[in-house]
Amino acid sequence: MIARHATVPLWMAEDDLNLNRSVWKCIAISLVLCVPMAGCAVDAQARAQAAESLATSDPGFVEFARELQRNDGLDEADVLATLAKAKVQQGILDAISRPAEAKPWKDYRPIFLTDKRRDDGIAFYRANRELIERAAAEIAVTPEIIVAIIGVETSYGRNYGSYKVLDALVTLAFHYPPRAKFFRGELRQLFLLGDTHMAYPIEEMVGSYAGAMGWGQFIPTSVANFARDYDGDGRIDLWNSLPDIIGSVANYFSVHGWEQGKPVATLVTRRADAREISPNGLEPVYPVEQLEGWGYVPAQAMDPAELATLVTLDGSNGKETWMTFRNFHVISRYNRSPLYSMAVWQLSREIADGVASAP
């Protein structure tokens, strides 16, 4: 079974308290809708009354449920009964307002590049070498990148979050206007995940404050698009099946265009006469030879035709300029911050070095 984590209700705004009060009214509804009754079915009138009751308490829920019924064929009353189980949590709203990626590199790096995370990654790789290397070979992804992602995301499965995924997505879809549209889409996808993609009931799944699930922290659309049943048991379990976890992370990188054996990043020396350029994002668009001609000299010899871009970070010893390549951009598909991509890549190098030096 999925591990359970206790959650403590935190302070709620007045609107949220009204929602919480409505949950008591909805309990009876959800029991009628969800508990099988011998010899009888819930009739249409009872279901209509349930929807009407929830419409009075939270019209946003009903609008959402009707969209899923109209566009996706789900039953409105069943969706409402599930939504009634969610708890809006102020802690989720607080967490999304202070992401680690807002820190400078000199403060961000020590969070993820620790001796313990490196050593645990080496131990995890050694303990699961056959599985990791088989998945990496079959899916064409560098094995230490798989391990580094799991290390950065959840410390190798030790901390995949303490929030119920349903609570997180309902809170953000209905109470966080800056990204409500995005999280409404993720909540919709959560309801659309079929039996293969849902190893546990919706209300039991636990993850991050943003609704990311399992060791690899897949949001529902990532589960639908990239997760794999790598152990072949007919379902995808991102909490308790190491083959599914490792195969899914590897597949994510493969689908996003990971190029086996190609570079990720290299430090550059900036000449005094270097041309000022301001790259737009992490997409590699400049040939290496062009960047060199503009005054950016890589620390190691690179293919002159390889496409790259530049990333400047605030390091502990001042500004660091990096030449980054397609694989760096692929890492950023997991998290669009260049700090995140750099942390994953540097951790992967330390893990690879440690594994290679093993007797």
Rounded CA separation 266/220 (Å) = 34
Closest-CA residue to 185 (of 193, 173, 195, 177): 173
Phi (first) and psi of residue 301, to 5 degrees? -65, 135
Is 153 annotated as catalytic?
A: yes
The set of residues, in sequence order, having a beta carbon less than 8 Å from that of 359 and lying 6+ positions away, is none
Q: Which of 76, 153, 306, 350 does the annotation list as catalytic? A: 153
Rounded CA separation 24/58 (Å) = 13
Rounded CA separation 307/314 (Å) = 24
Q: Please report, for residues 96, 122, 125, 166, the alpha-carbon distance to residue 356 in angstroms, rounded to integers and kept in the order given.
A: 38, 10, 11, 42
Q: Are 322 and 297 in contact (CB under 8 A)?
A: no
Q: Are 258 and 142 in contact (CB under 8 A)?
A: yes
Could you give the 3-state DSSP secondary structure of residue 202? helix
Rounded CA separation 106/96 (Å) = 21
Rounded CA separation 92/176 (Å) = 10
β-pair partners for 315:
318
Phi (first) and psi of residue 318, to 5 degrees? 110, -165
Residues annotated as catalytic are: 153
